[in-house]
Amino acid sequence: MTRTAVTFDRIAAVVAGLALVALGAALVVWTTNSVPNLPRRIAISGLHSATGTGWWPFALAGAGVLLVVVALRWLFAHTPAAKVKDLPLRRDDAGSITVDLGEVATAAAEALKQNLDVASASGKAVIDRGTRTVDLTVTTTATPRSDRLIPTIDAVCAQIAGVLSDPSVATRTTIHTGKRERRRVR
Partner 1 sequence: MTTAQEHAVTARPAPGRPPVAAPAAGYVGALLALLILAAGAVALRDAAVHFGWLRGAAWIDTAIAGLDGLSPQGWMLPAGVVIALVGLWWIVAALRPRRRTALEVPAQTSVWIAKADLARLARAAADSVPGVLDSRASASLRTVKVTADVTGDDPALEAAISTAVADAIGGFTTTTPRLKVRTRTGAH
Cβ neighbours for 169, distance < 8 A, ≥ 6 positions apart: 87, 101, 132, 133, 134, 160, 161
Q: Does 168 bind partner 1 (CB under 8 A)?
A: yes
Cβ neighbours for 120, distance < 8 A, ≥ 6 positions apart: 113, 138, 139, 178
Q: Which of 4, 61, 91, 97 binds partner 1 (CB under 8 A)?
A: 61
Per DSSP, the residues of 128-181 read ETTEEEEEEEEEE-SS--HHHHHHHHHHHHHHHHHHH--TT-EEEEEEEE-S-S
CB atoms within 10 A of CB 62: 11
Of residues 2 through 41, those in contact with partner 1 by CB under 8 A are 5-6, 8-14, 16-28, 30-33, 40-41
Of residues 73 through 112, those in contact with partner 1 by CB under 8 A are 74-75, 78, 104, 107-108, 110-112
Of the ranges 84-92, 93-101, 136-144, which one interacts with partner 1 (CB under 8 A)?
A: 136-144
Closest to partner 1 by CB, 65 or 97: 65
Q: Which of 99, 121, 125, 134 binds partner 1 (CB under 8 A)?
A: 134
Closest to partner 1 by CB, 44 or 94: 44
In whole angstroms, how close is the CB of 55 to partner 1 at the nearest point?
10
